[in-house]
Amino acid sequence: MCCGMCGYRMRVAYKHHIRYLCDGLKRHYAGVTCMSIDGPSIEEVVVQAFFDALRPAQLDAVTALLAQRTKEENQLQQYHCDQVRRATYEAHLARRRYEAVDPDNRLVAASLERSWEEKLAAKRQAEEEAERFQHGPAFPTLSPEQRQQLEQIGPALPALWGSGKISNAHKKRLLRSLISRVIATRLAADRIEIKIVWISGHFSVAQVVPPIHRKPMQASTRNWWPVSTN
């Protein structure tokens, strides 16, 4: 769960009842707490969306999107490899030109030296971009084995979910098999927008009206009114 206001990961508080709260700005920049929201109402929406995503048609769509993204990812990887290869060749060619020039021709030598330095800089930049791409976030996948397991467990999962037979750790693993992250944004005091980002890169948006927990008034400040029996 991420905060839609500041982007930090939200924490879970278990005092009295489960709540998601974001204090990223408070912890890192001495700011204020972004929000504290009811947990069960948020989880109910996310879990139901997960159940809906287990339908065969939805799994087919996820599989197709992941296949397309894998293809695009491979194309990007090939692009970076080609860029490094081309920059390396051009730097090598610039070096050969510089080394072959007559040292007495200082103007040409200086120009070729600058060209060589520029090609070396371009080569380093291409290598750095390729390395950043290589060490970027792992691309999510849904293996055929995972897909088969989700298809088999899908119809029975809603009943099992509330039976106590599935541990919280197992529930988290199941959710993360299809959900990349959840982003919560407070639209009003009694309305939260939930954006569920799927591993395919697509997202679903829902609005939640969570219960608002108010502190009880002190007995000395309460106003008591008689109840009419008429």
Residue 189 lies in a domain: yes
The parent domain of residue 178 ranges over 2-54+154-213
Task: State how far the Cα of 36 lies from the Cα of 11, in Å rounded to an integer.
Answer: 9
Residues 27 and 72 in one domain: no
Residue 16 lies in a domain: yes
Residues 85 and 126 in one domain: yes
| Cβ neighbours around 142 below 10 Å, total | 18
pLDDT band for position 150 (50/70/90)? confident
| Cβ neighbours around 150 below 10 Å, total | 20
Residue 11 lies in a domain: yes
Residues 75-120 pLDDT 10s = 889 999 999 999 999 999 999 998 888 888 888 888 999 999 999 9
Residues 129 and 162 in one domain: no
Residues 12-48 pLDDT 10s = 888 778 889 888 777 777 777 888 888 999 999 999 9
Task: State how far the Cα of 13 lies from the Cα of 120, in Å rounded to an integer.
Answer: 53
More confident residue, 30 or 207: 207
For the chain, the domain total comes to 2
The two structure tokens encoding residue 67? 């296949």
Residue 221 lies in a domain: no
The two structure tokens encoding residue 197? 């980002």
Residues 72 and 124 in one domain: yes
Helices and strands, number each (H, E), in the chain = 7, 7
Answer yes or no: is pLDDT of 73 > 60: yes
CA angle 91, 133, 125 (to 5 degrees): 25
Residues 73 and 49 in one domain: no
Task: State how far the Cα of 39 lies from the Cα of 18, in Å rounded to an integer.
Answer: 5
Residue 26 lies in a domain: yes
Contact 49, 196 (CB under 8 A): yes
The two structure tokens encoding residue 219? 């007995």
What local confidence, expressed as pLDDT, does residue 54 receive?
85
pTM of the model: 0.61
Contact 179, 1 (CB under 8 A): no
Residues 50 and 76 in one domain: no
What local confidence, expressed as pLDDT, does residue 35 receive?
86
Report in angstroms the alpha-carbon separations of 88 from 84, 122, 125, 135, 154. Answer: 6, 9, 11, 21, 51
Residue 36 lies in a domain: yes
Residues 125 and 180 in one domain: no
Residue 218 lies in a domain: no
Answer yes or no: is pLDDT of 165 > 50: yes
Residue 169 lies in a domain: yes
